[in-house]
Each structure stands twice: as C-alpha cells, then as structure tokens.
Structure 1
Amino acid sequence: MMIEIKSEIVSRQTIKPSTPTPSHLKTFKLSLLDQISPNIHGNMTFFYPSNNSSHSISDHGFFHKSKLLQHSISKTLSLFYPLAGRLHDAATVNCNDEGAFFVEAKVNIQLSHFLNKPDLNLMDHFLPTTDPPTMELSNGAMFLVRFTSFSCGGVAVSLSLTHKLFDVSALLTLLQTWSSVCCGSSHPIAPILIGEKFLAPRDELSAISATNRIEAEKFVQRRFVFSAAKIAELKAEVNKEFHDVFQSYPSRVEVVLALIWKCAVATKKQKTGKFGPTVMFQAVNLRKRLSPPLPETAVGNFIWPFTVFAYEDKDLELHKSVIQMRKCLNEFNNTKANMFRGEGATQAIMEAIKETGELFRNNKEMIVYKCSSWCKFRLYDTDFGWGKPLWLVSVNKLVSNTIALADTRSGDGIDVLMTLDEEEMALFQQNKQLLKYATLNPSIYA
C-alpha cells in the first residue's frame, strides 16, 4: 500500500557561525582532491523515535529540539568555518560567514508507518535540497539541514553537504562534533582543516571534475538488506579458496559486493543478450593508508577508487571476484596509496585521471559500477540528545550503477542501496541468487 505523505514547511532560516571567522582565514584554498570533486551535495537522513510519550508529541518538544539543533549548528560552524562560506571557484572557498541553512518541516504520518516499509521515492519529503524555494533562499549554502516532525513525535534530521569539502569520514567528524555540541559538550572534536597544505590545487583544472557520470534514461534506487546470518553463509561459500590465497578471510563488504556485482552483470546480460566486460570502482579512505597517515578528523576528500575488472563471465564467480578484489586492494595499498604524497603527487594524480578517461574512451562497451562503503563508520552513534537513530539513509538522485553499503543498526548486517536503470532493476530484484541472501526492503523494525 502506498503511503500518502503531506509535508509542510514551517520555517526557513540562515544560521551564522557563533563567532565570526578571523580575517586572515577568509580565503580557504581546497586541496587538489577537493578541486576535482564534483560540486554536488550529498545527503543523509537520520530517523529518531519519539523519546517520551507525554510531551514529545506536542509542538513544544519539536520546537525545543529544533532550537538545540540550530544553536549547536551555529557553534559547529565556527569550528568548520569554510562550511559557513560560499564556493568562489572549484578550488577556493570564500569564508564569508554567510552561514548554513535550516528548514523546519512537518509530515502528517507516523514514523513507524514510514519505517515499516521505507519508500525511497518518498525521501524527497525529508531533504532540504528538493524544495525550490529553500534552494533559492539558501543562496549557495554548502550545508543545509531539514528537521522534520512526524505526527507521533518522532523526528528526521536530514543534512545536505557539499562534496567539495566532505567525504564520508569528514561527514562523520562533522556529525560527532555537532552532536556532542548539541548534547552540551564543551570540548567537541575539532576538525583538522588541511586544504591546500595537503596538495595544492591546479589552475588548469578549474573547470573539470573527475566524475564519469552514467546517465541512465530513468534509474531507480532499491534497498536490499543482508543479515549477519546470510553474510556468514555467503562467506562460507568462498572462505576456503580465499584462505588458500591470503591466509585470512574475506570481509563482509567483499562478499556482499561480489554477489551484487555478479547479479547486476547477469541482469545486464539478460537485458542485452550478451556478457559485456565490466569494471568496479571501489572508493577507499586514504587517511590511514598514506605514509605518514592523516588523522581521521582531517576534513576534505581523502578518497580514491581502486578498480577491479571482469572480462569474462567466469571472472565473476564469487570466490574469483572476492580474491581479485582483495588483490587489487592490496596492490592499491602497497603501490598507489603513496602516490598522494611527495614531489610527484600532483603529476601522478593527473596521470591517473587521464588514464581513467582513456580507459572509457577505448572501452565504450565497458560497464561501470561504483561502490562506496560506509561500513564501520559509526554513523548510528549520532545522538543529538534524544537517543540513537532507528535508521539512516542517503539517497542518490544523480547517477546510475552505484552501490552504497552501510551497516545495519545492529552493526553486523549490511544495508545496500542499489541504483540501476529501471528496466534492469525490475530483473535484478528478482534474481534468485541475490534473493537467496538478501531481503528486498524489509521493515526497519524487522
């Protein structure tokens, strides 16, 4: 049964940093990796149950929480001062304290009603970026928040953040700082703003961004959940061969991703009638892989993809692709990760971007999938003072053939958001091998 949601915006406002940015910090130069990141906003929404039956249903409880969020955003912006500024060009933030943008809204349904079978098509009701007046009034804000109340007193906190400054690790730092300020901490985690000190931006790159977008005509996003028990079964299928090669065992992410990739390519073959060569781009966090490493609280884009290729059907047999993934990751860690440090770093990155471009030009048939994993990032610890979230999700409206993996709330399962061409998704979600291990959009309470 389709849920009908009516949402209503209660208020919109700009939030300025609690202390002005000093004049010597007014211009923030981004790093080369930020410069080549696309100027788009990523989003994440956290759903919180009502935490006490008596007054939280009233508007008073919502109003109080909203004030706490606004006040803590103001303080947090002083620490993350570029976030309160505006992008001047692809590599410069004008730290002018124009601020973040905050929207209060309400929806006419109960939270449990929505989470019983979360409909990703309804997520627009919770995002700040899907409301045209908000986008106009927010005037290029790099950080937008929409705070929504449900009729039962539950709430949703949605944030939309510029990709120019934030990868998922940086997002986690922001959430940790913001939520601890909201809970009254006087010593929140301070971000480390490195910018160009990591790698200076390049003038000749001012106009490009390193995203190979796959524009599907119409694509859809679906959620699949792998329980801990099903992941254990999946691992059991490949453990022996994997252990023979590495004397260790595959990770949850490796086995789940291998299965999804295999089923996605099988779906493509079903649709086109032939196997096409394929590549999986997997984003990795560079912070701990660099030598010397960067602190996890370094804010910016410190991610880079490594690639895994499959040229024939048999390359996608589970044990083979899991072994191949680990080999490619090891090779990246041992050889590529250090290309981001030292004299030749800029040159090496420019070469790598060029190589990727050539790869696509020379292999028009190559089917590309992109994966980002937020597993092990403790996003479910985001507590603004009214408990931990029941569910969190990040919807993707921009590109097809993407796979986003996140921990389930229990921490041992994996919540997968898969984006595919509409026709392919209709086939993919019926794939028997997939459904042996994954459940299509189960209730959050399951």
Structure 2
Amino acid sequence: MMEIKSEIISRQAIKPSIPTPPELKTFKLSLLDQISPSFHGNMTFFYPASNVTTIVSVADDFSEKSKRLQESISKTLSLFYPLAGRLQDSATIDCNDDGAFFVESKVNIQLSKFLTQPDFNLIMDHFMTTSELSTGAMFIVRFTSFTCGGVAMSLSTNHKLTDLAALVTLLRSWTSVSRGLSDDPVTITPDFMGEKFLAPRDELSATSASLNISSEKFVLNRFVFSASKIEELKAQVEQEFQKQMQSYPSRVEVVLALLWKCAVVTKKQKTGLFTPSVLFQAVNLRKRMSPPLPDTAMGNFIWPFMVVAWEEKDLELKEMVIRMRKSFNEFNNTKANTFRGAGAPLAMMGALKERAEFLKNNRNIDVFKCSSWCKFPLYDTDFGWGKPIWHVSVNKMSSNTIALADTPSRDGIEALLTLDDEEMALFEQNEELLKYAIINPSIYA
C-alpha cells in the first residue's frame, strides 16, 4: 500500500446565489424517495494537470479552479434548491438554504502514481468527506490537489433526492454553469416532481427504509473487461440467446452473469456447499413508464428486478443471461408502469411486501445487488479544465454488491465488486474469471 498524506486546507458552506422563495421552503419527496434509505452516494473524478510547471503555479491553478467550482455550486444550488436544504424527515426537505459543504485539501503524491494502481481505502480516507462532518448537508464536495497539478473532485449527495440519473442531471447542469454556459438556452434544468409524481404516505413519514450497513469485514476490488474479452463472452451465449429471445445479449448482461456465477462458485469453495443465490438488479424507471418521465426527473426512479439461481445447473452462463433478460422483460411488461398513477401506492407497497416475503421464506439464500452506470455520460464531466481521466464510486457500506461502469475508452466495462475478505481472496483466483478480466490494472493501461 502506497504512503500518502493529506491536508485539509479549508471547509465552508456554500449557499445558493439566489435565496429560495418562501413558497418553496418545504419540499415533499415522492413515495419512491420516502421508502429509499437516507445515505450519501459518492462519485470521485480525477483530472490530469493543466499546463503548470512550478509549485507556485500549481497552487495558483488549484486556487483558481476551486474558486470556479465554489461559484458554480452557488449558482447551481439556485436551480437545485432542495440540495441546499436539510432533510427534515423521511419525506420532507427543509429548503433553508444552509447550503452545500465544500472542502479543499491536498495530497503529497502525483496523480499518475496514484492511478497506476488505485487504492480504494485511500480514496475513502483522502479524497472523500463523510456526511457526519458536514452538518447534515445534502450536497458535499471535496476538491483535492496533487503535487503535479492534477486534481480530484469528489461529490457526495443524499440518495433521498438523487439516484444515478439524477446525479447526471446535476453534473450536466453544474458543469455547464462552471464552463460559463449558464446563459445557454440548452442549460439543463431539473424536474422536481416529488409529491406531484407520487405523494408520500403519512403513516411512513417518521422512518426511511433501513440500510443494512454490513458489520462483516468486506473488501472492494476492481475487475476490468476489455471490448475484445466482452465479445468472447458474448460469443459463448449468443446462439442460444438469439434462438430463445430473438435478440442479442448486452455487454452488461454477459459481464454481470460471469461475475455473479464466479461469486456463487466462490461461496461454495468457502463453505463446501452450494447455496441458492438471488441477484437484484436496479432498473431506471424513467423511460419504462407510460408516458415516460423526463431524464431530468430528480429523485429515486429505480426499482430492482430479481433473478434466482436455485441449483448449480442454473449457473451455466447462457442460461443465466437468458434468465436475466426474461426477468428484465417481465418486469418491464408487468411491473414498471404500475408504479405510476392512482394504483401506484398499492402496487409499490405490494412489491415491497412480495420482496420481503421472498427473503423471509428463503433466509439462507445469498443476496447480491447490482447497478449499472454504463452509457451514462460520466466521462463528459468537464468543469472547464477538460474531461476526467477516470471516475469511481466507492462502496463502504455492504458486501455482495456489483457496480458496472464504462472504462475510460467507453468500449469496455469495469466492475467494482464487494465480497467478504476470505471470499475475495478466492474470487481473485477464479480461472474462468481470469480468462476475461484483469484485476485492478493501471488507469493508463
């Protein structure tokens, strides 16, 4: 593990440039937001150095970028005004303009050295700021300078108001303001649908869904699949998939199927017994409702569908990919649109009950959760000094998770996987996995 020291330069609150009008002071979340757990999701972007040559110019360059970020946050908060407030209960934001929390820091290494082999514990310790230190802020930024002039921008927002698609809307608007395009007619503006979409339930107002933060020791690692290896995986399943589904498997489906299969095999290696496994995969509901919701809808418009591997024979790769697609199609055709309109509250509460019953009746089943950020334009996050060389979201809460993202070249996939430490040691030696994936390579590879 590399040596690294960080130093906090400053901490401050950043308030909206235009105060929130009195009639908008109380914002009611939707039922989907209400039942979502209250925690901060994170994303860290790494940017190479500008044309700076001396320590003085590195410091000046960082100071100039920091000032630009702070001013653009202030302007952006006027559009995204609930993010400048504080969560009052599971369904209400007090839009009091207390503001975002902004931290400046510096580290004593070069960006290129850090990205040669990214260390996720160091990212957590030196580039992210915990919500506990931010006096309840819903929008937290830590901006960090490397000795070479490269920078890291870590963004953390409360999940009550931002799923990944909403975070992308925030980033597109914020970067537009930061680049000086705020008067451009195509500037992205958010749709705060909240209770207008689906009103929260009074009987649930005191509590959010619980988030089971894992007490076990788990580790996170990164597995990178090149475009050519993904094509090899597709070739294994394509013939049977086309025959049954009359379409082609996606790169996300084949990579996810392999990772899930290898994780289930690893658990059997550890215990000596095969255990049934369920995979919950998050779906963006915006385009799957009729009529569709705008991409700029702020809040949680995601829901998981599930796929189950009851027996070892269910782990055959082509079988897993076909069953993933069938479950996805069934969810789209039967469930997604029931979460809209007059019957939505009953449909949603019924779906929650159904999931709880399934888990109660199958207490020994291994549960995996997956989300995909592929095709989201995260590599377009340009504040005025160019696009990031890499971005990452570090999971510090639970094991058995899989997050998929585009590689910087955008044609491969990198997977961030959490397992307990003993299982990860076995997983990293899985021969089938290693045919296709490289473990945490250099970002420059």
For Structure 1 versus Structure 2, the TM-score category normalised by the shorter chain is: over 0.9
Q: How many residue pairs align between the two structures?
A: 441
2:277 aligned with 1:281: no
Whether the 8 Å CA contact 2:37–2:211 is kept in 1: the answer is no
In structure 2, runs of 5+ residues without a counterpart are: none
Whether the 8 Å CA contact 1:216–1:400 is kept in 2: the answer is no
- Residue 52 of structure 1 aligns to a residue whose secondary structure is coil
Whether the 8 Å CA contact 1:55–1:61 is kept in 2: the answer is no
**Pairing 1:8-87 to 2, within 5 Å after superposition:** 8-54=7-53, 57-87=57-87
Aligned residue for 1:152? 148
Shift of 1:207: 4.1
- Scaled by the length of structure 2, the TM-score of the pair is 0.97
Change (3 A) 1:208 1:241: farther
**What amino acid does structure 2 have at the position aligned with 1:83?**
L
State the Cα deviation string for residues 187-212 of structure 1 (Å, max 9, x = none).
32101110011111012223444456
Q: Give me the whole-angstrom Cα distance separating, in 2, the residues matched to 1:207 and 1:233.
A: 50
Shift of 1:126: 3.8
Shift of 1:129: 2.7
Aligned residue for 1:392? 391
2:236 aligned with 1:234: no
Q: Give me the whole-angstrom Cα distance separating, in 2, the residues matched to 1:193 and 1:58.
A: 39
Aligned residue for 1:124? 124
Aligned residue for 2:92? 92
Change (3 A) 1:434 1:218: same
Q: Give me the whole-angstrom Cα distance separating, in 2, the residues matched to 1:294 and 1:69.
A: 30
Shift of 1:215: 2.5
**Once superposed, what is the RMSD of the aligned Cα atoms?**
1.3
Q: 2:160 aligns with which of 164, 188, 195?
A: 164
Whether the 8 Å CA contact 2:106–2:146 is kept in 1: the answer is yes
- Residue 426 of structure 1 aligns to a residue whose secondary structure is helix
Shift of 1:41: 0.3
Aligned residue for 1:181? 177
Aligned residue for 1:434? 433
Change (3 A) 1:135 1:214: closer
**What amino acid does structure 2 have at the position aligned with 1:334?**
N
Aligned residue for 1:414? 413
Shift of 1:128: 3.8
Change (3 A) 1:270 1:353: same
Change (3 A) 1:267 1:122: same
**What amino acid does structure 1 have at the position aligned with 2:358?**
L
Whether the 8 Å CA contact 1:216–1:421 is kept in 2: the answer is no
Shift of 1:270: 0.5
Aligned residue for 2:334? 335
Whether the 8 Å CA contact 1:126–1:156 is kept in 2: the answer is no
**What amino acid does structure 2 have at the position aligned with 1:82?**
P
Of 118-127 and 223-232, more deviation after overlay is shown by: 118-127
- Residue 58 of structure 1 aligns to a residue whose secondary structure is helix
In structure 1, runs of 5+ residues without a counterpart are: none
Q: Give me the whole-angstrom Cα distance separating, in 2, the residues matched to 1:208 and 1:264.
A: 33
Report percent identity of matched pairs. Answer: 70
Aligned residue for 1:378? 377
Q: Give me the whole-angstrom Cα distance separating, in 1, the residues matched to 2:433 and 2:26.
A: 49
Change (3 A) 1:296 1:393: same
Shift of 1:439: 0.3
Change (3 A) 1:191 1:243: same
Q: Give me the whole-angstrom Cα distance separating, in 2, the residues matched to 1:425 and 1:203.
A: 43
